[in-house]
Amino acid sequence: MAASSRRFPLRSSLSARRVLRNLVAFALLYGAGLAAVWGFSLLGVSTLVAFPVFVLGVLIASLETDSGLWGAALGVAYLLSYDFLFTAPLFTLKVLSRTDVAALVIFLVVSLIMGVITHRMSRQVQAAERTACALGRLNRLSVGLLESSTPQAACSFAQEFLTRVLRRPVTITLGEPPVAGSAAARDCYERRSPTGYGEPGWRDATEKYLPLGMKGRLYGVVAIDCSSGDVDSGSLSLVNAVVAQTLVAVERNELAESEPDGAGVPAAISAPSNDKSAAEPIRPTALS
């Protein structure tokens, strides 16, 4: 319960920061758009020229905020403010010209569509960047595990990798957990199933334990610190992928340690003999 109570204020503070950031971006873009219209009016230029500026503001809002709805809301705010401040009769939300009505409606529809499309494209670009970053990290993990020479070295490299990526302490222990250690860790090793934080019967645990095993053999236990909150499904999938690669490296290094020098290395192919008799074909014996 204590960890859960710490998790909810953290999420609420992050959400409040995002909302505040979105409001600041909305206010700045709104003020910039109205300032552009006012500047055009002082220059004697038709205020309709400011509509491309409004569209640009909608695009920026959709890119810089967490939702395309912020861009759509900015378009509506531009529309109402333009009607109220710069369209005759002034200071009323009433447009008499059919041309102005058509232009405003078209702008509203375009801003809504562009806001949603731009935000979706931004999300896709961010997802592609996250995927590329994850692939790069997994490549570095593969190289590090391939260069490891002992099971302990492979686990140590994977432990450092997960700690750096998850930004929380991760411990990989080979072998059976000590009796004086965590009861949840021993239970995970004996039952070969996840225990600890978030699992039934371990309400007060601050760490999540995962079995480190493959092909029916158990090598040890993985401990993930959850004092700042539980790991999400994406992080858990990453942990499982790293554990699978680590187990392959551990098994390979154990096999290399158990074999004597030269064992498992195929014998060299002998060079062809210089004996001409050995190269002559076998001739059939003539029948008497």
- Taking only the tens place, the pLDDT of each residue in 33-44 is 889 888 888 887
Q: Are 51 and 86 in contact (CB under 8 A)?
A: no
Q: What b/e readout covers 213-234, taking b as 16+ CB neighbours within 10 angstroms? A: eeeeeebbbbbbbbeebebeee
The stretch 252-262 carries a mean pLDDT of 78
All structural domains of the chain, each given as residue ranges with its CATH number in brackets, are: 18-126 (no CATH), 151-256 (3.30.450.40)
Q: Percent of the chain beyond pLDDT 70?
A: 77
The stretch 143-159 carries a mean pLDDT of 92
User: Who wins on pLDDT, 109 or 164?
Assistant: 164
Question: 5 falls in which pLDDT band (50, 70, 90)?
Answer: very low
User: Who wins on pLDDT, 220 or 11?
Assistant: 220
Check residue 91 and give left, alpha or beta (phi > 0: left; psi -120 to 50: alpha).
Answer: left
Please, is 69 exposed, middle or buried when counting C-beta atoms within 10 Å of its C-beta (0-12, 13-18, 19+)? Answer: middle
Q: Are 141 and 158 in contact (CB under 8 A)?
A: yes
Residue 122 has pLDDT above 80, yes or no: no
For residue 232, what pLDDT is reported? 83
Question: 96 falls in which pLDDT band (50, 70, 90)?
Answer: low
The stretch 216-231 carries a mean pLDDT of 88
Residue 103 has pLDDT above 50, yes or no: yes
For residue 195, what pLDDT is reported? 92
Q: What b/e readout covers 11-24, taking b as 16+ CB neighbours within 10 angstroms? A: eeeeeeeeeeebee
For residue 270, what pLDDT is reported? 39
Residue 170 has pLDDT above 90, yes or no: yes
User: Who wins on pLDDT, 282 or 125?
Assistant: 125
Q: Are 242 and 252 in contact (CB under 8 A)?
A: no
Element (H, E) at 31: helix 2-42
Q: Please give the mean pLDDT across all residues of the chain.
A: 77
